[in-house]
Structures are given as structure tokens and as C-alpha cells.
Structure 1
């Protein structure tokens, strides 16, 4: 039975159960007889099919890989997004580090190419002079 047949059977059973108390006795007797006849004609239950997966590792030339060659896609489908997120985070970190290095190199180049001696940048009065000059 496919799922549509099973769903239809459940809907019919539900509809009959809702109105069961309202049905006349002759109808319920006929339904009980029909049920007994249907159960007598019912086929014996087929044995359940069990899917067995091989747990042995696939070796070169082994049949385990070729029985289901796309089974690895399910595992990659879980791991791939995690790897992409981690790769993105590493990429953003590297980009930020390169930006920081570039800014520091630019500042160092400006300080070293200036005519002021390096000791002037260490003087607190010089920092005050720069702040008043910017205003």
C-alpha cells in the first residue's frame, strides 16, 4: 500500500467512527460482516524489508563503494556548510589582519619619512601641540 491508500483508509475510518453511534443496528451488522469478510481475504503480511549497509571499509576494487557510490554526498552535505563557515571566518580574520598591518605600515612610513626626530613623537608637549593644531 502506498501512502495515499493508507491516508484514504484512515480518513474513511475516522468518518465512520464519528457517526458510529448514529448508524442503525442493521448497518453496523452489515459493516461488521463486511469487515470479517475483508479480514478473511486479506493477504498474509509480507516480511519487512531490511536494508543492510556494509560496515567493512571499502578497499580498492571492493564492491562496497560501487553498491552505493553517492552515499558520501549525505555526509558531505552536513560537513560542507560547516567547513564553508569556518573558511569564511578564517578569511575575514586574515583580511582584518592584513588591513591592520597595512595601516601600521602606512603610519610607520609617514613617521619615518617626516623631518621630525623620533624623540619629538614621544614628547607629551608635542601631542598637546598636535591636538591644538587640529582644532
Structure 2
């Protein structure tokens, strides 16, 4: 079957589906009988055609592929997962490094650690930010 035959079949199917309720009962019975005959004549080993226009992915087709074809499908997925894991690890290490720098700054500061938890300390910092800087 060439592409023109397939297009014609889709157009006929679409027209029949649109007017299915308007068809007489005798016509629908004849169409059902013709479909049953066509299915009976269909070769048993020929796989049913999939509607290519709808898209989608047939998992059974993946297992019917040769090994090289499977690798062509699976390799990009594995690479994508590995890339995502690498990005996650890099972001995590960067976050841990930033926390370590903050901890080192707090520990090396002259203020006692309890000063950071004091509610008055936050008010003091806000007040210091609002005052204009003096020229030194």
C-alpha cells in the first residue's frame, strides 16, 4: 500500500466516523461484514499497522529491534540520566562549599556564637545598615 492509498483510507474512515449516526442499519451491517471478511483474509504474521500520525512510542517495537537499534534508543537515555546526576552532584557540592565558607566565617569571627541567635543582634545589624558609612 502506498501513501496515497493510506491517505484515502484515512479520509474514508474519517468520513464514515463523522456520519456514523446518519447511516442506515443495512449499510452499517454491510460495512461490518466487509470488515470481518477483510480481517479474515489478513495474513496472520503481518503485524497490525500503527497510526503513524498519532505519534506515541510502542514498547514492543523496542524489543523487536536488533541490539544496535536498542542501543540507539537506550544510550541517549542513559547519557541524559548521567548528565542529570552530574549536574545534581555539582550543585550539591557547590551548596556544601558555600555552607562551609559561611561556617568558617562565623567561627573565625570575634563575636560569640550566641550573639547570632540574639534577637537584638538582628536589630543592631539593621540599624548599622541604615546609618551612613563614615569616611575613614
TM-score of the superposed pair, with normalisation by structure 1: 0.46
TM-score of the superposed pair, with normalisation by structure 2: 0.46
